[in-house]
Structures are given as C-alpha cells and as structure tokens.
Structure 1
C-alpha cells in the first residue's frame, strides 16, 4: 500500500500541473494551476522546461480551497500580490530562499496558524491580514514590514519582534486576542497605532 502511494506521488510530481510564462528577466513565473487540476499538497518545482521557477504570479492560487500545504522551490524569491489570498484550508508553508512576501499574499488564510519568517526580508502591506496566525516571530533577517501586515488576526496571541527595525502603522491593528508582545530593546521606533484595538496586549522589552 505504501509503495503504491509513493508511486502515485511520484507520478503526480512528474507531470506539469501549472500554467506558467517566461519572465523577461529570465526564469519561469507560475501563473496558476491548469484547468481541472486539484491538489491538496502543492509542490512548486525548482525548474520547469529546464528554467528556474523564480516567481509565483499575482493571484495565482487565490481562493483555492483544496490546497492544504505548499512547498516552494529553492529558486523562488518572490510571491506576487494575493498569490494565496483566501486559501482557507492552507495550513503549512515551507520554502528555501523566499525573500519577499507581497500585498495580501496570505490574507484570509484562516487555517494558517504559523509561518517561519527565517530568510524573509520584506513583508508587505496586509500580507497576513485576517489570517489564522497564532504566533508571529520576526527575526533579524526581516528588514522591512509594511502597514497592516498582520491586521485583524483574531487567533494571534503572541508576537516576538527580535530585530531593531520599525513596527509600522497599524501593523497589528485589531488583533484583539493578542496578549504577549516581546520586543527587542534595540528597536528604533514603534509607529503610532501599531497595536490599535489590541486591548489585552502586555509589552516586554528584552
């Protein structure tokens, strides 16, 4: 039975299930799934047609309710705006070298309780708005977080901001169940209203 599942998995990975286009700068941009393709585990390949897959296009998988997990190939650096917006059953995302998470990329991914920000450099506006994140850990690799990045994350209870970069305007707006906020004592600026409508948040500097 196990061997059969392994063979089926290899067969699934061997066929191309994606719509894609070539980038003017070289490489492949995945624009979505082919018609009638339905997968629960989405494996973004390193290469297609012997060219590196470098981008996932804007709205490529928006509102896809069958995707539960995503493994992003080692050549992908950028996720387009709304790439996984509204994927309500997505609960796991893994990647190798992703650096930029675009506007509303994982917004309304209500089953996504955790995201590893290691190696990420930029988290754009509303990237995780209204998602299911329960804990947010921002490491030193993250250089820039934009406004509203984590707004209205109702499941969020803990934030650990371990770098010195600014926490922007309304970054955690209306995270009403946020209780524990741990901040680096090297932080330069917490912009006004960064934690608006977080009535239970308690702050500690380390």
Structure 2
C-alpha cells in the first residue's frame, strides 16, 4: 500500500483547490507544461489505451482560433489565462496499442471496427487522463479552470478536422486570482452519493 500524503498535499490537490475564473498576469512556461504532461501521463487507463490528446493554446493567435467556439461567459477568462488546454480523445487510440500494450498481440484487433467500444473506451479513459492533468497541475503549483460551455462542432472543425480526435472539455491553466473566486459550492454527503454493499 502507498504511503498517505501529508494533509497539506491533500489540501493542495483537493480540499483547498478551486476552479478558477480569474488569472494573474504570470506566465506558464513550456517547461512547466512538459513537466505537467510528464507527471499526468502516469495515471492509469484501461489496457494502457492513453487516448487523451492535449492541445496547449499559449498564444493570443492560438486562442483566437478557439474563442468563436466558446460560450460568452468563457471568453474573457480564457483570453486572460496563460494557457487553455483542449482535452480531447483520439478514436484511433488502438493504433498505438502494439507499443503501449505489447504483451497482448491482439490488443489492436479487440477494437478494430467496433465503433461503440472505441467511442466508450476513448471517452472514458480520455476523461480520466483529463482529471489526472488537473491533479498534476495542482501538484506542480498551478491552478485550473476546467470548462464545458463551447460549441463542440465548431471546436472540432477548427482543431481536429480529420474527425478522429474529438474534444472532451477545456481547462484554463495558470496562477489563479483568488479575489475572483466564487464561494465554494456544496458537495453531496457520503450518504447520498455512496453505497456500501
């Protein structure tokens, strides 16, 4: 069994962490983004499928391509964030299984031509990888602002026109301005959300 993290580390990852809407004018470097991926990549996925595809939008020009697809409430906070990540998933993930899951020779064939299995596997595991990205960012001292609120078709047409990769969600990353936080919303109690059988 793994060692339990100290309370302050748990606070950083969960209890004190917030979804940010405002950002300080402080850059996030390419080195930080590489370190972020290098940490998040170790989160588990089924059969090591690793379907997440991440597009880090760092420049005003890159973000300008995204802004027309955003809901009005997401435009200014995305423009202000140092980085906006498109968290997407690749429906051709199984092409990489010979390298990612080499001990099973038929791994690729399990998925080939099975559209529903491909879609559910890619979406589920890509979502997991997006969550690992948020935790890795927090662990490295960065703040996150995950978002829905975009026109999926517009975004896919602009960034993934071949149709194999699809957007899942967006996440602004940087150094959050705590003055712009909303009050923390309630969470469901264990008795409502959990069952013990």
Q: Do both share a fold (TM > 0.5)? A: no
Structure (1/2) with the larger helix percentage: 2
Relative contact order higher in (CA < 8 Å, ≥ 6 apart): 2
Please give the range of the TM-score, normalised by the shorter of the 2 chains.
under 0.3
TM-score scaled by length of structure 2: 0.23
TM-score scaled by length of structure 1: 0.22
Structure (1/2) with the larger strand percentage: 1
